[in-house]
Amino acid sequence: MKLLLTGARIIDPAQNIDSRMDIFLEDGKIAKIGTDISKSLKSKSSEKITKIIDLTGMIIVPGLIDMHTHLREPGFEYKETIASGVAAAVAGGFTSIACMPNSNPVNDNRSTTEFIRRKAAQAALANVYPIGAISKDSAGVKLTEFWDLKEAGIVALSDDGKPVMDAALMRRAMEYGFSLQLPVISHCEDTNLSGGGLMNEGYYSTILGLSGIPGIAEEAMVARDILIAEFTKTSIHIAHVSTAGSVHLIRDAKKRGLKVTAETAPHYFTLTDESLQSYDTNFKVNPPLRSEQDLKAIKEGLADSTIDVIACDHAPHGRTDKEVEFEYAANGISGLETSLALSLNLILDKTLNWPELIAKMSTNPARILNLPKGTLEAGADADITVIDPLLQWTVDLQTFRSRGKNSPFNGRRMQGKAVLTIVGGEIKYDGR
């Protein structure tokens, strides 16, 4: 298959490109990128182009990468399967996703990793990169076989959802993982401080009578992991940053030259704990939605590159997980299909410009996970996301490809959407 995409504005932060160009895809790779490709190709009659797509008014970016997704298979297929997850991914403009290990069984062994990769290959939509567990069963006691897992195909390590409370275990994981070039992703939460908490601790938890999760439950662990990284000269990636305090700690660590990277999720720069007043369980996430000041600090962290990545923390759930009392409801937002549009708001409100945003959704996650992705350079994999920046649309849960219909954004008016998702040179989603 040969594809010629013409007329669009091309943004590739990896090559510092932001201009109107054509891009030619051949055999799953980016063959050429330049201003005069269409003329030169048309003149050479020998070069047979199967398809020319006019994308005037559109924006072409390197395929978006979500480095924090929960796919639920194996074990919780009623929430999401690998097939439904990757369908949601391409519909949301993601060409690659990295999936967290908290399935059942936990992805703490070679065969589960291989199972996930096999299922992903069968679905053949987005690329799926499994993340292996730090500890057996994510129980925080015994390290998994990092080397074996790496050979099976994991790209990172995390006990996401089950914070590593044992600092010594975390130290060993970071040392061992670093030597294997496996980034460790930390879900920072001191479970003694957060214990039993249901939402951010503050005025709204007080008036709603819901027990609070203080910001320091996250910040204490961010500080701990930064100290370990500094002492052991290793790296750490902080997952889903939600508080102003965490932003300050990470900013400071980066200033000191430490190998610390961080991500946040769209809901942390879009919503605050005020929205919980309806007790709508779709707003229940972990870490919880924070205060207005935290939201502001997250945006500042994104703007000054303290926060490197925007990741969905896509956490699909079934109806029975969410249509219950707030106290019993599962944490999480089904985010793959709303992430891009919510993130585009950062351009509208001038927090980021286009190349900065695309870096956080493609170039940076590729770099952190050591993936050969995140660029439109000639010779790179033809993973491409085409965005219609002006498309007005309304979120409708019923149209979600994800099995998880748990989104607080249902009914929200959005601007901007992925209209074409190309993975390995093939169109995997066409929403035009």
CA distance 165 to 152: 27
Euclidean distance between CA atoms 139 and 338, whole angstroms: 32
CB of 338 to other proteins, least distance (A): 22
* Active-site residue identified among 137, 308, 313, 383: 313
Strands (E), 247-293: 259-264
Does position 201 interact with other proteins (CB under 8 A)? The reply is: yes
Helical packing angle, 215-232 and 244-255, nearest 10°: 20
Instruction: List the single partner that 160 binds among other proteins, Zn ion, none, CB under 5 to 8 Å by kind.
Output: Zn ion
Which residues in 35-69 belong to E strands, given as ranges?
51-54, 59-62, 64-69
Q: How many residues bind other proteins (CB under 8 A)?
A: 24
Under the rule (CB under 5 A), what is the footprint of Zn ion?
160, 187, 313
CA distance 331 to 321: 9
The item of Zn ion, other proteins, none sharing an interface with residue 326, based on CB under 5 to 8 Å by kind, is other proteins
CB 200 within 8 A of CB 258: no
- Of 218 and 383, which CB lies nearer to other proteins in the complex structure? 218
Task: Specify whether 166 is catalytic.
Answer: no
In the complex, the smallest distance separating the C-beta of residue 346 from other proteins, rounded to whole angstroms, is 29
Closer to other proteins by Cβ: residue 212 or 416: 212
CB contact set of 214 (below 8 Å; sequence gap of 6+): 193, 194, 197, 201
- DSSP H/E element including 57: none
187 binds, among other proteins, Zn ion, none (CB under 5 to 8 A by kind): Zn ion
Angle at 246 between CA 233 and CA 67, to 5 degrees: 70
Regarding 207 and contact with other proteins (CB under 8 A), the answer is yes
Question: Smallest distance, Å, CB 66 to other proteins?
Answer: 28
Write each residue from 409 to 428 as x if it is in contact with other proteins (CB under 8 A), else as -, in one continuous string: --------------------
Query: Which residues touch 203 (CB under 8 Å, ≥6 apart)?
Result: none
Q: Which of 63, 85, 92, 202 binds other proteins (CB under 8 A)?
A: 202
Q: Are 61 and 11 in contact (CB under 8 A)?
A: yes
Closest CA to 302 of 258, 346, 267, 345: 346
- When the beta carbons of 335 and 374 are compared against Zn ion, the nearer one is 335
Minimum distance, C-beta of residue 245 to other proteins, in the bound complex (Å): 15
Nearest alpha-carbon partner for 60 in 1, 3, 110: 3
Query: With CB cut-offs between 5 and 8 Å by kind, which of Zn ion, other proteins, none does residue 218 bind?
Result: none
Q: Does 78 bind other proteins (CB under 8 A)?
A: no
Q: Which of 104, 320, 392, 399 binds other proteins (CB under 8 A)?
A: 320
Residue 148 sits in the site that holds other proteins (CB under 8 A): no
Contacting other proteins (CB under 8 A), which of 43, 48, 325, 398? 325
> What residues are annotated to the active site?
313
Which residues of this chain interact with other proteins, rule CB under 8 A? 201-203, 205-212, 214, 278-279, 281, 320-321, 323-329
